[in-house]
Amino acid sequence: MSNPETKEQNIKPADLTAKKAVLYDFRVPKKFTKEDVKALNRITDAFLKHLSSGLTAMTRENCSVYNPRIEEIRTTTYLDSLPKYTMIGLLGFTVIDTEFRDPRVMFHVPPSLSYLLIDILQGGSGKTLEMERQHTDIELAIMKNLITRFCDMLSAAWSSLVTTEISYEKSETNPKLIDVRSESDVRLVMRFDVSVKYSVSTISIAYSAQFLEDLMEKLHGQKVDTQNFEPIDAERDQRRRDQIIDTLSESSIELKAVFAELTLDMQEVMSLKVGDIIPLDKKLTDDITIEVDHVPWFKAKLGQTNIKKAVKITESIYESNNE
């Protein structure tokens, strides 16, 4: 007779190898094809590049935007997932020369990021702030300016597919106060992780799923290449370039005039004291280097205007190096 215990040892539990079934919510059917999702993924990739460079220029800190993802969820579920006190910009999304308009695109900036950006833009150190309170009028004004700039970056991301006008309409700090048209209203939500200094937060943009579905259907009917995102014409491509330039034109950069550079060992540095003279292997009439954000850009001569020291640019280094 066989040993029952031996049989039990040889049996492999089926549930260890079986794959878990993914639940499908038939009340919220998926509205987008794989081709649509690829096109939307390209928009998220373009936007995170614009946002990353824009935040870095505005804050003068090392900022990165990464890990984009897309999901379709009910509007009520999306709003319930947001903090009690937060920042939601309501945007108007208009496709130029068409009847397509979504007046309720939601741009969510969590408090961990909004208070951090406000602190940096007001000259603070940019320490991580967690505050359970409403934004003040001054903070709301700063965030309105920021979200308005984000609108330009978002419009630039969409410009390879359609020409859009995305504008700031108003902001809301309590998600419970946002009117939901119906329980079945569905949003397509794009989420991004944003790293500023030592803080990581998640921002999101929620579009009306019905609006995007109608827009994608219209584009397919016009045989627009949503997969490769080729510009429709040269005029649209130029507008996209102008939008990018406008976004970056307001950012500040560091301009530095470098007369000479010298290398010393640690012992020499430690022995320096007030009154010491450090000879430089350079004449006052020699060229100096003008650096733009630590990149050599021009050659210049030292001089004077009125009672102040000045430099006169004599040659472009950057252009000659990139010819």
- The pLDDT assigned to 7 comes to 46
Residue 241, H or E segment: helix 234-249
CA distance 302 to 258: 10
Mean pLDDT by 10 residues, the chain (323 residues): 48 46 52 78 90 90 89 90 91 87 90 90 75 85 93 90 90 87 80 89 92 81 50 60 72 81 85 86 84 85 84 80 58
- Structural domains for the chain: 34-249 (3.40.1550.10), 255-321 (2.30.330.10)
- The pLDDT assigned to 122 comes to 87
- Write the DSSP assignment of 94-119 as a string of letters: EETTSS-EEEEEEEEE-HHHHHHHHH
DSSP 71: E
The whole-model pTM stands at: 0.61
Residues 212-223 have pLDDT tens digits of 888 888 776 654
Contact 315, 298 (CB under 8 A): yes
Residues 47-76 have pLDDT tens digits of 999 999 999 988 888 889 999 999 888 899
Contact 83, 108 (CB under 8 A): no
